[in-house]
Chain A
Amino acid sequence: MTRTRTKQLELLGLWLALLILAGVAALAYRSVGAAADTLGWVEHTHEVLHELDDVSAAYARSVSARRAYVVAGDGSQLGDAPKLDAHMAAAIVALRASIADNPSQLRRLDLLERRLDDRIAELDAGVERRRAEGSAVETAEGLALAASVRSIREEIGAEENRLLVDRDARTRRDLGSTKLAEVVGTLASIAILLFAFGRLHQEIAGRERTERALRASEGFLESIVENIPHMIFVKGAGELRFERINRAGEQLLGVTREELVGKNDFDFFPAEQAKFFQERDRETLSNRVVVDIPEEPIQTKRGKRWLHTKKVPVVDEQGVPKFLLGISDDMTEQREAAVVLKAAKEAAEAAIQELEAFSYSVAHDLRAPLRAIDGFSLALEEDCGAKLDGAGALHLKRVRTSAQHMARLIDGLLGLSRVTRGELVREKVDLTHLAQQAAARLRETSPDRQVDLVVQEGLEVEGDARLLTAALDNLLGNAWKFTGKSSHARVEVGRQTEESGGVFFVRDNGVGFEQAYAQKLFGAFQRLHSVTEFEGSGIGLATVHRIVRRHGGRIWAQGEVGRGATFYFTL
């Protein structure tokens, strides 16, 4: 539920509670009014009964004044008769006024009045009779009238009493509903109060919880910021004064946050550095981008340090920069290490270069005396051959053969060092073409050899053309050499697609080798055959090995004595 929705509901509840209370009040007011009303009616009934009694009393006095004379001849009260009649008439008028709202009672009263008049008139007739005859008695008619009067009067009384009971009951009812309204109202008020109190309590508890959570989360973030081992600082966007700094920052700069907060870069750093920092700050804030400063010198109280700093603009909801957040990594040690490493690398490179130059010049300079040895041996043979006997000629031949072998060794060494030096230039290389070219060169040097060459089409790779040419020259040269004694020499170049990029192979049906020595094939000056058997320097496969390794590939060999050899390689 959203916050606005809750608010709406709360407002609705408040109105509802007010409405309930107002309803209860209105109900109470109304039932109290009704009770007062009925109470008035009860009193009115009592009044009517009272007036009825007045009428009865006045009638009784009027009747007895006359009857005393009629029956007993006592005329002492006769004189009062008109006055008593007037009383009775007045009582009737009063009663009529009181029951004016009740037509049936009025009808009864009319009847009663008529009967009273009749009774009074009958008694007056009795009075006349006694005056005329000296004696009189109550007539039957008179007694009947008296009974009728009594009965009507009782009717009126009974009716009023019934009304009284009715009104009493209504009053009680009205008072009952007033009480109910009071009880309901009170209960409703209590309920609303309890509910409101509950809500309030909940609200307060909720707020306390939120505040606790907020405090906890602030504490959590705070401790994270404090414990991050990089300097973290915040500056105000306006005057670039420090607002915050974490512990790592204090340690790095050698100042406390109390010293730093409220000050700017010019208060702590040399003017040139402070200017640089603030320029980067402004750049960050105005472009609203993260600015990365990989190497930033800073003069701290602990001496000059090198920082890698990232500056981040912190903007408000409208996108207006408010703060500058900075995160700095102390790169001083790494930088020093890098400097040392660079120096070491340069020294190592220089040493390697020197060594290469040395070995190159050694190899190169060894050739000069070799040329002389071979050249003058030949000159000796040509110019003084006739003076040498068979043994002497053989010695001379050995001198030349050895010189020539040493020349090949030197060539091999130079080739090996060529493979190691120089940059590896990767490009698309057609191994099929390179293999065919290598074979063509071999056919040229030994035109009398018959070799069946099968090269798979489309052997395309990414690699260094110069180095791969050297590798195939060596591999095919080997195959050529070791099939020299086979009757049907066959050399095959192809690809097995076992791995990604493929496994290439050069296979021959030559003399082969013992598998146990397969690893020895790739070491420099390692040979599995004697020089008299097969000519060679023992450097060719070492060169191929280096070329494959420089391409990030692998080379291995499979062979069997007398059944050929296969060299596999990946690039």
Chain B
Amino acid sequence: MDDKIILLVEDNPNDEALTLRALQKNNIKNTVVVVRDGAEALDWLFARGAYAGRDATVMPQVVLLDLKLPKLSGIEVLSAVREDPRTKRLPVVLLTSSREEQDVMAGYDKGANSYVRKPVDFADFAEAIRQLGLYWLVLNETAPAKRTP
């Protein structure tokens, strides 16, 4: 299970705690790597800067990407991810905080993106993550090209 990593890009410690709690509550045992801004997220993904020593071939199963981030915004991170061949097909779940944001993001919808609205109602949020867990984590499936025999 070591290679089944979830990358959570979230600067708000409360949201981070609630997200981790939701994952835990739903018995998702994956390693969750938390980074706190857009630049750090890209450093981690491309194994550079503070993460230069990381094994660059290890990619997360899914990235949970908040939109409002310090340094680089979620949209900028997403663009960089989609432009690089190494991460082009990485599943990204966008954490939006309103329908407005979701509408805006529709314009950037390229590849395997999904949305989860960060609801105040924790149960709904947990359900959304659980459903995502069903598709991306519980089934232990990722893009077919990366499948190992």
Contacts and interface: CB of A to CB of B under 8 A. Distances in A.
Contact of B122 (A367, A369, A375, A414): A375
A375 B98 contact: no
Contact of B18 (A364, A371, A403, A407): A371
B18 A368 contact: no
B98 A371 contact: no
A367 B125 CA distance: 14
B21 A379 contact: yes
Contacts of B101: 364
Q: Interface extent on B, as a size class?
A: 10 to 19
Main DSSP-derived SS at the A contact region: helix
Contacts of A360: 100
A414 B14 contact: no
Contacts of A83: none
B100 A375 contact: no
B23 to A, nearest CB: 13
Interface of B: 12, 14-15, 18, 21, 68, 97-101, 118-123, 125
A370 B120 contact: yes
A130 B101 CA distance: 191
Contacts of B97: 364, 367-368, 371
Given A364-B68, A368-B12, A376-B14, A411 B98 contact: yes
Interface string A348-390: 0000000000001001100111111111101100000000000
A418 interface: yes
A533 B14 CA distance: 34
Contacts of B100: 360, 414, 418
A378 B68 contact: no
B10 to A, nearest CB: 11
A469 interface: no
Contacts of B14: 368-369, 371-372, 375-376
Given A371-B97, A375-B122, A379-B18, 6 more contacts: A364-B68, A368-B15, A371-B14, A371-B118, A372-B18, A375-B125
Nearest to B98: A414
A369 B120 CA distance: 9
Nearest to A360: B100
A407 B21 contact: no
Interface in A519-534: none
Nearest to B13: A372
B120 A375 contact: yes
A418 B100 CA distance: 8
A374 B122 contact: yes
20 contacts: A364-B68, A364-B97, A364-B98, A367-B97, A367-B98, A368-B12, A370-B120, A371-B14, A371-B119, A371-B120, A373-B120, A374-B121, A375-B14, A375-B120, A376-B14, A376-B18, A379-B122, A404-B120, A407-B120, A414-B100
Contacts of B119: 371
Nearest to B67: A364
A45 to B, nearest CB: 143
A367 B123 CA distance: 16
Contacts of A364: 68, 97-98, 101
Contacts of A372: 14-15, 18
Contacts of B118: 367, 371
A174 to B, nearest CB: 128
Interface in A485-542: none
A379 B20 CA distance: 12
Nearest to A365: B68
A79 B44 CA distance: 199
B117 to A, nearest CB: 10
